[in-house]
Structure 1
């Protein structure tokens, strides 16, 4: 039986496709195994406790998203009263709210850096300029007598708000 040339060509192409598919599957399995092996390794050496071989400091102005590490939690909650305000920190992103704006907080994104032991998240300009500064020092909000591990100052445009901050995943100790 004689096949039409197109049918013969399709049969050869189909047979070739099976060989290609098999080769691609083998390559994908090998690549998957390599990726799995790499995922098991971080490729990072443990931090040295020897002062002479300390890890280099992050570049000035480096943000948390850029891989910079600091000793402050990535997610923090800052708040104050008279007037009541709150800022949720997630890396270099801030959500600012007041009792009137809780349903739709203002969102800011800036640069996160540690300067002289203070965590500073800042950005924007003019009326939209903001700076949140946190210092590791015991703080009481003045109303609940709860102790928080950080003092907070939030500057938005010309307004300055003072309060306390904490890692929201850590319970606050009662007095």
Structure 2
């Protein structure tokens, strides 16, 4: 008994589909899978944000951060864990109040909109229910512009 007439075209279509999925290394889309290395593990990161005003100092060598606001200028210190993704760093921790903190630092020119400074990194933070945006620099990769705006 011979196979049905549609079997050969269907089998050919299946083989073409599989060949397209497996692809050749030269045909594959190249993706960088290396962890972000633009900020060394021993650099201290300074984050600053406006509306509302907030700041954070992340001491990677110690594994701690200090979150500050105008109401708490000294800041609240808490332990953080570092994660290097493909295009930036993430830090997670929790304040003494139990509020979770997640901070993401990514490369990209940033302006705080209030000074004439330009920062080398952008920052987003989630502190409890608050979503915050800001700019960041490190002790090795500073901002450009006036020292005291």
Q: Give the 4+ runs in structure 1 shifted more than 6 A.
A: none
Higher strand share: 2
Structure 1, unaligned runs of 5 or more:
1-56, 59-68
TM-score (ref. length: structure 2): 0.64
* Partner in structure 1 of residue 39 of structure 2: 72
Structure 2 residue 55 is the aligned partner of structure 1 residue 95 = no
The match for 2:108 among 137, 140, 158 is 137
Residues 95-126 of structure 1, C-alpha deviation per residue, up to 9 Å, x if partnerless? 000111113x1112121011122110112399
Which residue in 1 is equivalent to 2:26? none
Q: How do residues 9-20 of structure 1 correspond to structure 2 at under 5 angstroms? A: none
| Deviation digits for residues 28-63 of structure 1 (CA, Å, limit 9, x no counterpart) | xxxxxxxxxxxxxxxxxxxxxxxxxxxxx78xxxxx
**What runs of 5+ residues in structure 2 fail to find an aligned partner?**
1-33
- Mapping of 1:1-175 within 5 angstroms? 70-73=37-40, 74-91=43-60, 92-103=63-74, 105-124=75-94, 127-168=98-139, 170-174=141-145
Mapped partners of 1:119, 1:109: distance in 2: 16
When residues 115 and 85 of structure 1 are mapped into structure 2, their CA distance, relative to the original with a 3 A threshold, is same
In 2, are the aligned partners of 1:77 and 1:89 still within 8 Å (CA)?
yes
Q: Deviations over 1:46-104 (max 9, x none)?
A: xxxxxxxxxxx78xxxxxxxxxx94314201001111100000111311000111113x
Number of aligned residues? 108
Q: Distance in 2 between matches of 1:120 and 1:169?
A: 18
Higher Cα Rg, which structure: 1
Shift of 1:174: 2.2
